[in-house]
């Protein structure tokens, strides 16, 4: 077919099947409507993201506007797809931890915990996991809850112009990441919680660092309350914004702070305890406004409860000096007699000397365990945990081999994003930013 060489069939017009396209780059709204002309009364569709700084990574929001009022809001996801779940099918059960820890990168310990709890249920070793390993899991998860909530409050504050809150939040988060580095050797993506226990014991001086952090946070957390709780500007931006009541949360499966901000005290640590949470003393925080301000207050108060849990876990660890942190079954247990060197890396020299120089059987076993992995009986398991964003669960399926037949995660960020349209439609375009920030989505957990 002959074609006109001067006509570009791919990019020649601003007319599309959805109507005319307008490029908006920060100018006043009046200049946009004047350009639209007679069609100013018609709908305007705006793409917010996936590079917008307020979309928490690479979330795309398709907003239909009438003036500055949002008449329709839709989410576009998939820009951060990593294929983690599929990749886990080609790795051993222990190697799978290294993959899933990278999903929700703000709460890696929760990804590891739900996956390992599922594997341990399939193995039938839930009762054999040492007490010290369970206590260390609780300690790390609660420290992680604090660091995640700090980022939620910091980035949420930044997006509405409260820059002091942002700098404070990241200042405190650095302290938590320093603790993670002390305990695991890494600031993020730790792969520390493993089937059967944890990778290694607490290093020397670890408990002292934890207690010093708790003491400091008890001084710092009131600063957030003083800065925000009664601040009329802060409250004016959050109160009544992103309203989502209990019926809406239940209909959409939304959990975490958005659900508890409706007054419903649903927390898996109390409702379906795991890792020994039933033996700890803490309260489930609720609010009664079902809006962005309520979600902020829930997260702020939950950090206090996490500090209580960290203190209790530290006291228990002090009584468990020298106790094992990995199951005794050597056919499952990866070596946990490790020690982090001054460079943050390295294994216990005594352990290396044993497997390399003293026992050929130990060397063969170590080689097979690392390269082939252990077999998991056929079956499937789902053990959810209460992550900073809500119910996080791993559905792990085994066909009896050394690798997962299927690993699928129920990530709260993915489910909670369903509330975007309900919270945003009928409000102002500026309130979309607040609504999204109040559910604190992490796109690494959404796309996986």
Phi, psi of 61 (to 5 degrees): -115, 125
Q: How far is CA 356 from CA 116, 328, 347, 352, in A?
A: 29, 21, 13, 6
Could you report the average pLDDT of every consecutive run of 10 residues in the chain (448 residues)?
49 52 62 59 75 74 85 85 90 90 90 93 90 93 93 85 85 92 87 89 88 92 84 84 89 91 91 91 90 90 93 91 84 68 58 68 78 89 92 93 92 90 86 88 86
According to the model, what pLDDT value does residue 186 have? 85
How many domains in the chain?
Answer: 1
Residue 398 counted as domain residue: yes
- Is the residue at 9 inside a domain? no
Report pLDDT for 12.
46
Report if residue 81 sits inside a domain: no
Q: Would 26 be classed as within a structural domain?
A: no
Q: Supply the pTM of this predicted model.
A: 0.85
Query: What pLDDT is attached to residue 38?
Result: 55
Q: N- to C-terminal Cα distance for the chain?
A: 44
What's residue 388's pLDDT? 93
425, part of any domain:
no
Angstrom CA distances, 283 to 35, 181, 194, 208, 270, stand at 55, 29, 28, 25, 9
Please tell me the predicted confidence (pLDDT) of residue 18: 54
Q: Is 172 within a domain?
A: yes
pLDDT of residue 90: 92
Q: Which of 352, 321, 336, 325 is nearest to 206 (CA)?
A: 321
Tell me the CATH number at 127: 1.10.645.10
pLDDT of residue 20: 62
| Residue 324, domain extent | 93-332+374-418+431-447
pLDDT value of position 147:
92
- Whether 152 is in a domain gets the answer yes
On whether residue 3 sits in a domain, the answer given is no
């Amino acid at each position: 077919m002959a074609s006109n060489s001067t006509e570009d069939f791919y990019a020649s017009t601003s007319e599309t099947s959805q109507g005319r396209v307008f490029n908006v780059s920060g100018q006043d709204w009046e200049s946009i409507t004047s350009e639209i002309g007679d069609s100013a009364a018609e709908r305007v569709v705006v793409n917010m993201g996936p590079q917008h700084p307020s979309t928490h990574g690479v979330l795309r929001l398709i907003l239909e506007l009438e003036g500055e009022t949002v008449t329709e809001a839709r989410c576009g996801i998939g820009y951060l797809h990593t294929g983690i779940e599929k990749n886990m099918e080609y790795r051993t059960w222990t190697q799978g931890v290294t993959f899933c820890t990278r999903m929700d990168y703000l709460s890696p310990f929760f990804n590891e915990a739900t996956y390992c709890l599922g594997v341990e249920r399939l193995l039938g070793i839930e009762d054999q996991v040492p007490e010290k390993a369970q206590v260390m899991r609780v300690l790390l998860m609660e420290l992680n809850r604090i660091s995640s909530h700090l980022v939620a409050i910091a980035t949420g504050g930044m997006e509405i112009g409260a820059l002091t809150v942002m700098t404070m939040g990241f200042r405190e988060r650095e302290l938590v990441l320093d603790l993670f580095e002390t305990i695991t050797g890494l600031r993020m993506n730790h792969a520390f919680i493993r089937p059967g226990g944890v990778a290694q014991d607490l290093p020397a001086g670890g408990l002292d660092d934890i207690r010093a952090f708790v003491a400091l946070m008890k001084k710092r957390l009131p600063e957030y309350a003083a800065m925000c709780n009664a601040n009329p500007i802060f409250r004016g931006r959050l109160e009544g914004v992103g309203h989502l009541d209990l019926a809406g949360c239940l209909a959409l499966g939304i959990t975490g702070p958005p659900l508890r901000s409706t007054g419903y005290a649903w927390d898996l640590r109390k409702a379906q305890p795991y890792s020994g949470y039933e033996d700890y003393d803490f309260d489930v925080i609720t609010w009664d406004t079902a809006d962005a301000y309520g979600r902020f207050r829930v997260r702020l108060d939950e950090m206090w409860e996490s500090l209580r849990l960290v203190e209790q876990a530290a006291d228990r660890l002090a009584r468990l000096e020298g106790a094992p942190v990995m199951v005794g079954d050597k056919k499952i247990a990866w070596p946990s007699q490790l020690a982090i060197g001054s460079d943050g890396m390295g294994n216990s020299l005594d352990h290396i000397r044993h497997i390399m120089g003293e026992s050929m059987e130990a060397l063969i076993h170590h080689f097979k365990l690392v390269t082939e992995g252990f077999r998991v009986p056929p079956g499937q398991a789902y053990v959810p945990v209460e992550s900073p964003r809500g119910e996080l669960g791993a559905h792990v399926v085994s066909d009896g081999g050394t690798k997962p037949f299927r690993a699928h995660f129920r990530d709260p960020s993915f489910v909670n994003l369903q509330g975007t349209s309900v919270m945003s439609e009928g409000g102002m375009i500026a309130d979309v930013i607040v609504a999204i920030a109040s559910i604190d989505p992490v796109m690494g957990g959404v796309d996986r």
